[in-house]
Structure formats: structure tokens, C-alpha cells
């Protein structure tokens, strides 16, 4: 698999700001050895889908309803996304667990909804519940997942996880989930991305994806990596 770089915009950006970001992004040169995914908030999905249509980036979502289509006010179901080229769904981000009190069972249901809709779930985990999260997911669905290890205390701080801890976590994730691709997230930027990509199959990028200059600088930095 090509290295996967996921831009997680979280609850940032207006439609106009997203458009400006994408126009600048589309003017930069492509990166053949990478898959770039952009995860905007729901209202920005159309502008990202339209402007990334040139194939420079694929579409991801930051969450998904644990329920199918039906009477679940406020939730966005996999069915709602039909017709949009959504490739990945981040599920169980630590901010969802912290501020929205999501449980490992909720996240397991989201995985099921995503896989049924042929969307690849990116299951976020942190030390302490990796095995518990894997155990909550139907065993036959585990190999459909990508798993992102993100230590909550490193997110948005400018201080990423040490490489030795990331190595250890990648092994722990594979022990619990099987041979799945493992991503790293937590203060990834242009200066540390290559170190993480030597260990992980990709990275989740929050802060350094918000300014297009910082994000394209990060992508450019990966050019020094040997092709997979």
C-alpha cells in the first residue's frame, strides 16, 4: 500500500476557506508514492469532492453514524453518503471519545456501518484500550480496518510521540487487530513525518493540515522517502 496521509480538518474552515485551500493545493505538484485523503466537516464535503476530483486527493469523513439510515436525528449514516466518493471514515478519534463519550461498542458499530458501505474505517486507538477496541469489533471485520495510533496527550501539542513508543504501539495494534495497516497521529509535521513513515503505513495530520503551505511542505518532505 502507498503511504497514506490523512488531513483531518476537524471543525475548522468555512466553505470559502476550504475552496481557497483546495485551489492552492491543486496548484502544487502531485505525489505518486502517497495517497492523500482529506477529511472535512460535513458541510465541506461537496467542495472537497468537487475540487479534489482531479485525483490529487481522496475523500474521507471524520465520523459516521453507528446506526443505519433511520430516525437518528443529527447523525450522518453511511446511506447519506451514497453518491459521494468517500473512501475512508475516521472512527473513534480521541476527541470523539472525550467530548462525545463514544465507547468501544459505538466505534465497533461504526466500523460495521462503514465496511457494509465499502468505506474503509480508520479506527483510532490509544494505549490502554487497543485490545478492548479490537475485541469489540466483529472478528471478520478487523482486517477491513486501518488503525491509527494516536496518543491523546500528543495531539495538537507540537510534541509527537517518541519513535520507540510508536514502534511498540504498531506491534501492539498488529497483535490485537492482525496484519492491518497502522497509521500514526499526533503533532505530525514536515519535520518529523519521515521518521514516522519509516515505522507506520501513514499519518493522520491535524494542525499541520490547516494551512495549505504547512501541508504541502509536509507532503514535499516525504519525497525523500524511498518508494515503497
Beta bridge partners of 123: 91, 147
Nearer to ligand PGA by C-beta: 156 or 178? 156
Among 8, 51, 113, 192, binds ligand PGA (CB under 6 A): 8
Q: What CA–CA distance (Å, rounded) separates 53 from 57?
A: 8
**Residues in Cβ contact with 177 at an 8 Å cutoff, skipping those fewer than 6 apart:** 123, 134, 142, 143, 145, 147
Specify the stretch interacting with ligand PGA by CB under 6 A; choose among 26-34, 114-122, 137-145, 202-210.
202-210
Is 186 a binding residue for ligand PGA by CB under 6 A? The answer is: yes
Is 185 a binding residue for ligand PGA by CB under 6 A? The answer is: yes
Is 40 a binding residue for ligand PGA by CB under 6 A? The answer is: no
Nearer to ligand PGA by C-beta: 128 or 156? 156
Nearer to ligand PGA by C-beta: 52 or 155? 155
b/e string for 90-126 if b means 16 or more Cβ within 10 A? bbbbbbbbeeeebebebbbbbbbbbbebebbbbbbbb
Q: Given 95, 102, 112, 150, which residue is catalytic?
A: 150
Is 169 a binding residue for ligand PGA by CB under 6 A? The answer is: no
Task: Please report how close the Cβ of residue 14 comes to ligand PGA at its closest, in angstroms.
Answer: 19
Is 173 a binding residue for ligand PGA by CB under 6 A? The answer is: no
Task: Please report how close the Cβ of residue 140 comes to ligand PGA at its closest, in angstroms.
Answer: 27
- Mark whether 150 is an active-site residue: yes
CA within 13 Å, CB half, 145: 33
Specify the stretch interacting with ligand PGA by CB under 6 A; choose among 16-24, 67-75, 110-118, 201-209.
201-209
Among 143, 156, 223, 228, binds ligand PGA (CB under 6 A): 156
Is 188 a binding residue for ligand PGA by CB under 6 A? The answer is: yes
Among 204, 212, 218, 219, binds ligand PGA (CB under 6 A): 204
| CB of 51 closer than 8 Å to CB of 26 | yes
Residues designated catalytic: 93, 150
Name the residues that contact ligand PGA, by CB under 6 A. Answer: 8, 150, 155-156, 185-188, 204-208
Amino acid at each position: 500500500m502507498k503511504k497514506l496521509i490523512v488531513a483531518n480538518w476537524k471543525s475548522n474552515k468555512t466553505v470559502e476557506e476550504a475552496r481557497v485551500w483546495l485551489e492552492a493545493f491543486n496548484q502544487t505538484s502531485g505525489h505518486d508514492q502517497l495517497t492523500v485523503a482529506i477529511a472535512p466537516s460535513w458541510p465541506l464535503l461537496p467542495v472537497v469532492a468537487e475540487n479534489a476530483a482531479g485525483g490529487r486527493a481522496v475523500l474521507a469523513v471524520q465520523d459516521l453514524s453507528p446506526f443505519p439510515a433511520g430516525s437518528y436525528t443529527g447523525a450522518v449514516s453511511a446511506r447519506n453518503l451514497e453518491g459521494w466518493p468517500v473512501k475512508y471514515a475516521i472512527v473513534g478519534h480521541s476527541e470523539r471519545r472525550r467530548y462525545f463519550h463514544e465507547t468501544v461498542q459505538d466505534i465497533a458499530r461504526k466500523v460495521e456501518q462503514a465496511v457494509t458501505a465499502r468505506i474503509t474505517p480508520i479506527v483510532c486507538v490509544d494505549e490502554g484500550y487497543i485490545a478492548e477496541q479490537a475485541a469489540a469489533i466483529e472478528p471478520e471485520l478487523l482486517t477491513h480496518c486501518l488503525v491509527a495510533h494516536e496518543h491523546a496527550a500528543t495531539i495538537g501539542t507540537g510534541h509527537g510521540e517518541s519513535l520507540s513508543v510508536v514502534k511498540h504501539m504498531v506491534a501492539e495494534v498488529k497483535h490485537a487487530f492482525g496484519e492491518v495497516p497502522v497509521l500514526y497521529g499526533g503533532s505530525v509535521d514536515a519535520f518529523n513525518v519521515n521518521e514516522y513513515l519509516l515505522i507506520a503505513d501513514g499519518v493522520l495530520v491535524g494542525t499541520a493540515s490547516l494551512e495549505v503551505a504547512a501541508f504541502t511542505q509536509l507532503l514535499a518532505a516525504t519525497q525523500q522517502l524511498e518508494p515503497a
